[in-house]
Amino acid sequence: MAILEARLVEEETRPPPRLSEAELLRMMESRGLGTDATRPIYPSLLLSRGYIARSGRALKPTLLGESLIQALSGVDPRLVTPETRRSVEELMREIEQGKMTKMEALRRSIELYRPTLENCLSVASQLGELLGRSIARLGQNGGRGPRTGKSRARA
């Protein structure tokens, strides 16, 4: 087989499609995150803290939200994965079903999170500096997220 033509095309990568609030809640449910009672709180909590902003129906990360995820994943990727949260949710369900005591769940949680906590404590000043720079950039941008141009919610 002969190659007839080769072209180099320069394009920028595109972010993944953004979720609506309803899609976010469905995704959380399908991944076992939160409960029926707590799940609906998360979008408004993320909005009020300035981690996401609305752009029409879509929820988009703000500079602060992106910086927080980048900083936390640099310390320990488990801090930003649904699996970590899901494991804690599973422990809570086991307590609720009487399969585990609160003390056993606490012991398992400590085993799970101790290395992550120690990691966070060892780099706390760098995390603070990174987030501080992000917040300063946000201030220079008039509190506007890079993706929407709309003012972010203040916590």
pLDDT one digit per residue (tens) for the chain, 155 residues: 788 888 888 888 887 789 999 999 999 999 888 888 889 999 999 999 999 999 999 999 998 898 888 888 888 888 888 888 888 889 989 999 999 999 999 999 999 889 888 888 888 878 778 777 777 776 666 554 544 444 444 33
* Rounded (10°) angle between helices 124-140 and 63-75: 170
Which of 61, 85, 117 terminates a domain? The answer is: 61
pTM of the prediction? 0.67
Q: Classify residue 51: in a domain, yes or no.
A: yes
Backbone angles phi, psi at 27, to 5 degrees: -65, -40
Q: Classify residue 12: in a domain, yes or no.
A: no
Total domains in the chain come to 2
- Assess whether 68 and 141 both reside in one domain: yes
Q: Which two tokens stand for residue 98?
A: 């009487």
Q: Classify residue 77: in a domain, yes or no.
A: yes
pLDDT at 143: 53
- Assess whether 117 and 99 both reside in one domain: yes
Which of 5, 38, 61 terminates a domain? The answer is: 61
- Assess whether 85 and 130 both reside in one domain: yes
Q: Which two tokens stand for residue 70?
A: 């980048």
- Assess whether 55 and 113 both reside in one domain: no
CA 119 to chain centre: 18
- CA dihedral (119, 124, 125, 128) positive or negative: positive
- Assess whether 107 and 120 both reside in one domain: yes
Q: What angle do CA 77, 28, 82 make, to 5 degrees?
A: 15
pLDDT at 142: 53
pLDDT at 83: 87
Instruction: Look up the domain containing 95 and give its range.
Output: 62-146
